[in-house]
Amino acid sequence: MKRLRHPRLVHFAAIVGSLALIGSTAACGSSNDGSTASAGSGDVSKKVDSIAAMVPKAIAEKGTLTIAAATYPPAVIEPANGATPTGWDVENVRQIAAVLGLKVDVKIVPFGGIIAGLQAGRYDGATGEIYATPERTATVTFVINHSSSDALMVPAGSGITSAASETDLCGHTLAAELGSAEAKLAGELADKCKSAGKKAITVKTFEAQANVNLALRGGRVDAAVSSASQIAYVLSQSKDGFKLVELPWAPKYKTGFVLGHNSDSAQMAKAIEAATNHLIENGELKKILDKFNDGQGLIDKAEILPSSAG
């Protein structure tokens, strides 16, 4: 497999510029229309019979995938008017499903409940820039369609201007979404500060990314650890209220379509992998990323993780 082209932080200004055109803000609640229509690149992709034939019989007969997603702009954008959720990862899933001859029903749920919901069989899959960490790939299957990286968001007047070292954030209060890889990273930074004998890091977690951002805006935390594209979206909406601090040492992550483990998941993962590769090759996934994320995170080829699941 070819190497992933990881997003580069030098493109944040361009991301902010393109995301400012989206004009939708996140809201509470749930919305869907069971449609395969795509808001990302225009017309929905056509069904590819040879790929659709790979879909397990039970799923093909049902015809609609129930997908869990936590609001996380610009990957998952839930319009304030209750309209159908969109965003680059939601649109990725809709296009992939269309190739498979399926519709999509997006359920907006708290991030912390997604993996448990997949394991319990409440959802057929999940999306929303979910990082494929070793802990997660031990319990669920990922079909990789994107790559991501983390950064730090701070108030515009913050004294935090850089974080060249992992211990540069010692003594600060960091916020992250509950159950996220960013929360784990913040906890690891706190441990490193303690081991180095430096001032402690306080980590606060919140159920939704919107609450993380509100805590930062309200001065309850010093900084928020989030994905680079999510921060870029907030910057595009905040009218200079925040700024971005790069984390050059932060890990890069693979993200994608997530499936719970069941009797159909291995076969379904192969079908999604084939559909994803079809959309990478014909440029449809690139169109979505170009619109919502300035093209950041594009990969050359899909991948099933763990590899044994495929």
pLDDT for the residue 78: 92
pLDDT band at 222 (very low <50, low <70, confident <90, very high): very high
Between 294 and 66, whose confidence is greater?
66
> Each residue of 281-297: pLDDT tens digit?
999 999 999 999 888 89
In the chain the domains, ranked by start, together with CATH numbers, are: 9-148+253-309 (3.40.190.10), 149-246 (3.40.190.10)
pLDDT for the residue 6: 37
Q: Is residue 29 over pLDDT 80?
A: no
pLDDT for the residue 310: 66
Tokens 């910057």 belong to 235
Q: How far is CA 259 from CA 25, 89, 147, 235, 281, in A?
A: 28, 15, 18, 32, 23
Average of per-residue pLDDT across 103-110: 96
pLDDT band at 105 (very low <50, low <70, confident <90, very high): very high
Q: What percentage of the chain has pLDDT greater than the value 90? A: 77
Q: Is residue 246 over pLDDT 60?
A: yes
Within 8 A by CB and 6+ apart from 184, the residues are 133
Integer Cα distance of 160 and 269 in angstroms: 42
pLDDT for the residue 20: 41
Lowest-pLDDT choice from 19-23, 48-52, 144-148, 210-214:
19-23
pLDDT for the residue 296: 84
What is the residue-averaged pLDDT of the chain? 87
